[in-house]
Amino acid sequence: MIPVQDALEIILKEIKPLGTETVGILDALGRVISEDVFAKRPNPPWDNSAMDGYALHTADIAGAGKENPATLTVIYDLPAGQVPKAVVARGQAVRIMTGAPVPDGADAVVMVEATKSPEAGKVKIFASARAGENIRKCGEDFKQNDTVITKGSVIRPAEISMLATIGCPLVSVFKRPVVSVLSTGDELVDINEVPGKGKITNSNGYALSALVSEAGAKFIRLGIAKDTKEDLTAKLKEAINADAIITSGGVSVGDYDFVKDVLKGLGSDMIFWKVALKPGKPLAFGVIQGKPAFGLPGNPISSMVAFEQFVRPSLLKMSGRNDIFRQCISASLDKDIKVKPGRMTFLRAELTSTDGGFIATALDGQGSGVISTMVRANSYIIIPADSEGFKKGAIVKCQPFDSSVLSGTNTSY
Which 214-243 positions form the footprint of its own copies (CB under 8 A)?
A: 214, 219, 221, 227
Instruction: Specify the stretch interacting with its own copies by CB under 8 A; choose among 120-128, 231-239, 240-248, 367-375.
Output: 367-375
Residues 37/149, Cβ–Cβ less than 8 Å: yes
Q: Rounded to the nearest whole angstrom, what is the least distance from the CB of residue 358 to its own copies in the complex?
A: 9
Among 159, 180, 262, 349, binds its own copies (CB under 8 A): 159
Pairing of strands 282-288, 291-296: antiparallel
Residues 165-194 that bind its own copies (CB under 8 A): 165-169, 185-188, 191-194
Instruction: Specify the stretch interacting with its own copies by CB under 8 A; choose among 55-63, 66-74, 234-242, 371-379.
Output: 371-379
Residues 337-366 that bind its own copies (CB under 8 A): 344, 353, 355-357, 365
- How crowded is residue 392: how many other Cβ atoms within 10 Å of its Cβ? 10
Q: Which H or E run contains 76? A: strand 70-78
Instruction: Specify the stretch interacting with its own copies by CB under 8 A; choose among 14-22, 59-67, 119-127, 395-403.
Output: 395-403
Nearer to its own copies, 74 or 288 (CB): 74
Q: Rounded to the nearest whole angstrom, what is the least distance from the CB of residue 43 to its own copies in the complex?
A: 7
Q: Rounded to the nearest whole angstrom, what is the least distance from the CB of residue 267 to its own copies in the complex?
A: 28
For residue 29, state whether it binds its own copies (rule: CB under 8 A).
yes
Q: What is the CA radius of gyration of the chain?
A: 31
Q: Rounded to the nearest whole angstrom, what is the least distance from the CB of residue 200 to its own copies in the complex?
A: 7
For residue 206, state whether it binds its own copies (rule: CB under 8 A).
yes
Among 19, 63, 81, 267, binds its own copies (CB under 8 A): 81
Nearer to its own copies, 69 or 400 (CB): 400
Pairing of strands 395-400, 379-383: antiparallel
Residues 299-338 that bind its own copies (CB under 8 A): 299-300, 304, 321-330
What one-character-per-residue DSSP string does 355-398 give?
TTEEEEEEPS---TT-HHHHHH-SEEEEE-TT--EE-TT-EEEE
CA 108 to chain centroid, in Å, comes to 41
Nearest to 226, CA basis, from 197, 191, 195, 258 = 258
Q: Which H or E run contains 10? A: helix 4-13
For residue 406, state whether it binds its own copies (rule: CB under 8 A).
yes
Residues 280-299 that bind its own copies (CB under 8 A): 298-299
Label residues 37-65 b or e (16+ Cβ within 10 Å = b).
bebeebbbeebbbebbbbbbbbebbeebe
